[in-house]
Amino acid sequence: MAETFKNFIGGEWTDAASGKRFENRNPANRDELVGTHPDSDAGDIERAVAAAAKAFRSWRLVPAPKRAELLYRTGELLAQHKEDLAQLMTREMGKVLAETRGDVQEGIDTAFYAAGEGRRMYGETTNAEMPNKFAMSIRLPIGVCGLITPWNFPMAIPTWKMFPALVCGNAVVLKPASDTPATAARLVGILAEAGFPPGTVNLVTGGGGRVGTPLVEHSSVRLVSFTGSSEVGRAIAATCGQKLKLCSLELGGKNAQIVMDDADLDLAVDGALWGAFGTTGQRCTATSRIILHEAIAATFTERLVARARKLRVGDGLEPGSEVGPLVNEGQRESVHGYVEIGKKEGAKLLMGGKPATGGALDRGWFYEPTVFGGVTPSMCIAQEEIFGPVVSLITVKSFEEAIQVANGTPYGLSSSIYTRDVNRAHVAIRDIEAGITYVNGPTIGAEVHLPFGGVKDTGNGHRESGKQVLDVFSEWKSVYVDYSGRLQKAQIDEVKIQ
């Protein structure tokens, strides 16, 4: 039965002021209405930001270890509700149940990791350059943070942003993707149950233009954290730059897996299948290109295609399903458009290349796992992010050429190399232009205690996860304590050595 969800503003569940609502349907079965949600606008954002600003005044004064206790409680509640959350997530965005369980687990891990920072969050002490003077640096919260999150990881990515923001002492307004608002509502409800004070966590659902833009532009929002396309990220960065507002962007990827002539091919095929077709290719870290040394290209291709043909496409709630639907009709049309471009460019379609149909599949937005061979590095399908179950095979003659091809896109998020040569592995770690490099593993599988993010068009230099995310959600302050009892002029007074 469909649920009626609401916004969460100032500690209360509330409808959009306009009374408008939008539908949230199961991409595996468009006849199933998962729920309806407030179709909010700038007025709702105004109320949420005001609530967050009010809450921030007292929340910032709560000791960080006490803030962290609420995150520990949040992690415990997420663990208790893990299966229900996973089931809901699969119904609203499609990926198979094993993966949505992993998505929730990442939220649990993030809760406990971020809570630990409540007792760390270290500043630094250092020597002052003058006598009888003490110098140190400390972290302070920023204020109201606007968080805009995508649909492919509707639990993990909001927690990556919310939990460190909250433990640093900020208040947040979350605008989730319109394809996955139910998971966000459940998450915010758990935060409220854990005891976060009214106004520290706010949820406003609706479209990007009506909700996201007012959130980015609001004068009381001090920081915007966005995960999504590079095109939208550029627009957000421009607005934030004009308003001198802090901005953290995690954007697209065109990730490559290199397979060298000395690689364990069975292991490399395992990695390619998981990296290319996990989450139906709807990951910013998905393996979109596989760069093959010519000595093993034919053998690898044969094995990959044979294995990919056996992947079971189906409803993510059904046992045995390995590849769920794309998130909506528009995404399936976009993926198919890229497939048609690849065929016109002269790439060889080795398998797939069309919507998956027949029986229950006809009710959803399914697409066949698709493999292109004979792809050249300059082709559109080798340059642009497709965000679907489509992988391009590119053949090279040498390790050096493989690195050059891997670096030959505007993006730089994740990367992978399969080789038994430790020297090659370390050169790849050094020379691949990416924020993440795996050796003998697929391009997907980030862990929450390491920084996540990329270079070039993948972002603006910030990182999520790990202790590095604290630099996004806190400001550094330098503190000097002069206990000399007299005026000392830095860089002017001459300190005499007795």
pLDDT of 56: 98
pLDDT of 91: 98
Crossing angle for the helix pair 181-194 and 156-167, nearest 10 degrees?
30
pLDDT tens readout for residues 237-265:
999 999 999 999 999 999 999 999 999 99
Q: How far is it, in rounded angstroms, from Cα 123 to Cα 121? A: 7
Confidence of residue 498 (pLDDT cuts 50, 70, 90): low
Q: Which residues contact 286 (CB under 8 A, 6 or more apart)?
A: 253, 255, 275, 276, 278, 279, 387, 443, 444
Neighbour tally for 128: CB within 10 Å: 16
One fold for both 3-251+459-478 and 255-439? no
| CA proximity to 201, closest of 215, 216, 190, 217 | 190
Q: Tell me which H or E stretch contains 271.
A: helix 265-277
Q: How far is it, in rounded angstroms, from Cα 157 to Cα 225? A: 11
Q: Is the predicted pLDDT of residue 497 greater than 90, yes or no?
A: no
Q: Mean pLDDT throughout 222-247? A: 97
Q: Is 11 left (phi over 0), alpha (psi -120 to 50) or beta?
A: left
Confidence of residue 52 (pLDDT cuts 50, 70, 90): very high
Q: How far is it, in rounded angstroms, from Cα 197 to Cα 194? A: 9
Q: Is the predicted pLDDT of residue 495 greater than 80, yes or no?
A: no
Q: Mean pLDDT throughout 70-80? A: 98
Tell me which fold the domain 255-439 belongs to.
Answer: Aldehyde Dehydrogenase; Chain A, domain 2 (3.40.309)
Residues belonging to the active site: 250, 284
Q: How far is it, in rounded angstroms, from Cα 442 to Cα 114? A: 26
pLDDT of 204: 98
Per the structure block, which two tokens stand in for 208?
């990007």
Neighbour tally for 8: CB within 10 Å: 25
Neighbour tally for 251: CB within 10 Å: 26
User: 477: burial class by Cβ within 10 Å (0-12, 13-18, 19+)?
Assistant: exposed
pLDDT of 492: 83
Q: Mean pLDDT throughout 37-56? A: 98
Q: Running DSSP on this structure, what letter comes out for residue 459?
A: B
Superfamily classification of domain 3-251+459-478: Aldehyde Dehydrogenase; Chain A, domain 1 (3.40.605.10)
Per the structure block, which two tokens stand in for 206?
């609706």
The full set of domain ranges for the chain reads 3-251+459-478, 255-439
pLDDT tens readout for residues 330-377:
999 999 999 999 999 999 999 999 999 999 999 999 999 999 999 999
The one-letter amino acid at 419: T
β-pair type (474-482, 133-141): antiparallel
Q: How far is it, in rounded angstroms, from Cα 62 to Cα 255? A: 42
Question: Average pLDDT over the chain, rounded to whole?
Answer: 97
